[in-house]
Amino acid sequence: MGISRRTFFVGAGAGAVAVLLAACTPEPAPNPTTAAPTPTPTAPGPTPTALPAKPAAFVRSAWSTDPYARGAMSFTAVGSSPADRETLSEPVESRVFFAGEATSDRPGTLSGAVSSGERVAEQVGVAAANGERIAVIGAGLSGAIAAARLRQAGFEVTVIEARDRIGGRLHTLDDDAWPVPPQLGAWLLSPDDSEVQQRIALHDVPVEALDGELALTDAGSVEAPDAAPLEAAIAWAEPRPADAPLLEALTESGGDPEAPDTAAFLALLAATTGADAAELSAWFPPESPDLQLEAAVGDLRDLVAGPLDDIKLLRSTTVVGIAYDDTGVSLRLGTGEALSVDRVVVTVPLGVLKDEGIEFEPLLPFSHRGAIAALGMGDVETIWLRFDDDVWDTDAAFWHVVGGDATIRSWINLAPATGENILVGRVGGEAARAFAQLSDDEALAAALASLAWFLPPAQ
């Protein structure tokens, strides 16, 4: 089963993405009027008669309902653009600074978090006088990088984190039941993530390449779903006078979102961006899901703990209000206390800003509020399953469920890379929000039912 070559969508105004595209071999020109073909089975697959064997252990994420994330990652919603991220990264009155993946040109990635942390430290460095007190809100990767840089530059830095743990959307579980520690947030790296790769290497976290795709229907294996219908949709949208939802562009360009392979590709897109095609901008589409990936298969916590070493950190402390003027900043904490600093770096997820989890006094400028409202916060949930025995027989790392009514269509098989029988399911968009509402028993049953074509039935 071949791995699909890395591709990027390119939209009308997607300058940064276009640069990336230039680095890749061009795709054949898409045919905007051709509907996505229904896949033809090429080999018979198993016909399950019952749910597959139960796993020995499972864990799942709950980002959609997490008050300190309120989603998984930002996306460029229809009507918004990368300019909104630039607006959000502009300092307010030289007192309030924003960082975090949503303010970067690599949204929804660790690389974006790192670059935003570096960028904001430079901005503060230009505005602040020697020795000033700087608060960094959020001990995720962007906050940790910003805090370390600011501390190195001689500022008095305090990091304030709402959770009792650091890391934010980087969340390695420490559980002896797992030979490979489950990652409830980020853990996959593309060739563009070289700086993050270097940081991971510095902390001796093992990394393994993931390779190969397997797509199954109830009738057997088929070609892995590809981006062609969406590329046609983006080409359709490009000359239009206004942005359109990617879904509309897909149907208008002759694609059929219900076609099994297109639906499987859209599910993969949702699982990597957090957004459904109805929400995504066709003018500024996301990068096409990358399947040339490396997986961090060890404990990633030092990635954040390292930079925070020796920096003053207040855990379990929620910031609920930020008052600012040209003399300084006052932070209102959930405990009712207040903290005065000279400047503040806000790295909380876009979902927290969108839900007004922090009250600003005075209100943020109209430009910032517009950017926060326009950008989208997507939802991704992940479930890790560990089996005691070998219950599947393929070396393919990326599994796609094509057709049927599976809840989770995108899976990663860690067995070839790690020798452990671990499957990781990823679900995005509306399906992720629905998945988050399930009880653990229901979620496990839905996951196993989704795998019915891949795993043998329980004896």
Ligand X SMILES: Cc1cc2nc3c(=O)[nH]c(=O)nc-3n(C[C@H](O)[C@H](O)[C@H](O)COP(=O)(O)OP(=O)(O)OC[C@H]3O[C@@H](n4cnc5c(N)ncnc54)[C@H](O)[C@@H]3O)c2cc1C
Binding site for ligand X (CB under 6 A): 61, 63, 68-69, 72-73, 100-101, 108-110, 112-113, 137-143, 160-163, 168-170, 185-188, 318-319, 347-349, 352, 357-358, 380, 382
Question: In terms of CB distance, is 222 or 364 closer to ligand X?
Answer: 364
Residue 207 CA to residue 16 CA, distance in Å, equals 28
- CB within 8 Å of 336: residues ≥ 6 apart: none
- Residue 357 Cβ vs ligand X, minimum distance, rounded to whole Å: 5
- Residue 5 Cβ vs ligand X, minimum distance, rounded to whole Å: 20
Question: In terms of CB distance, is 68 or 97 closer to ligand X?
Answer: 68
- Residue 99 Cβ vs ligand X, minimum distance, rounded to whole Å: 7
- Residue 94 Cβ vs ligand X, minimum distance, rounded to whole Å: 22
**What is the token pair recorded at 83?**
């300019």
Question: In terms of CB distance, is 233 or 269 closer to ligand X?
Answer: 269
**What is the token pair recorded at 6?**
């890395």
- Residue 28 Cβ vs ligand X, minimum distance, rounded to whole Å: 29
- Residue 85 Cβ vs ligand X, minimum distance, rounded to whole Å: 12
Question: In terms of CB distance, is 186 or 237 closer to ligand X?
Answer: 186
- CB within 8 Å of 63: residues ≥ 6 apart: 69, 71, 72, 169, 184, 185, 379, 380, 381, 436
DSSP state of 103: G
What is the C-alpha R_g of the chain? Answer: 22
Contact 285, 11 (CB under 8 A): yes
Number of helices (H), then strands (E), belonging to the chain: the values are: 14, 21
**Amino acid identity of 113?**
A
- Residue 125 Cβ vs ligand X, minimum distance, rounded to whole Å: 19
Question: In terms of CB distance, is 36 or 88 closer to ligand X?
Answer: 88
Burial of 449 (0-12, 13-18, 19+ CB in 10 A): middle
Residue 169 CA to residue 340 CA, distance in Å, equals 27
CA atoms within 13 A on the CB side of 431: 29
Phi, psi of 120 (to 5 degrees): -70, -35
- Residue 12 Cβ vs ligand X, minimum distance, rounded to whole Å: 25
Question: In terms of CB distance, is 82 or 138 closer to ligand X?
Answer: 138
- H-type helices in 259-365, by residue range? 260-273, 302-308, 350-354
Residue 70 CA to residue 428 CA, distance in Å, equals 14
Burial of 424 (0-12, 13-18, 19+ CB in 10 A): buried
Question: In terms of CB distance, is 113 or 157 closer to ligand X?
Answer: 113
Among candidates 450, 351, 348, 459, which has minimal Cα distance to 409?
450
Question: In terms of CB distance, is 3 or 391 closer to ligand X?
Answer: 3
Question: In terms of CB distance, is 149 or 169 closer to ligand X?
Answer: 169
Residue 444 CA to residue 450 CA, distance in Å, equals 10
- Residue 171 Cβ vs ligand X, minimum distance, rounded to whole Å: 8
Question: In terms of CB distance, is 120 or 244 closer to ligand X?
Answer: 120
Among candidates 170, 174, 181, which has minimal Cα distance to 110?
170
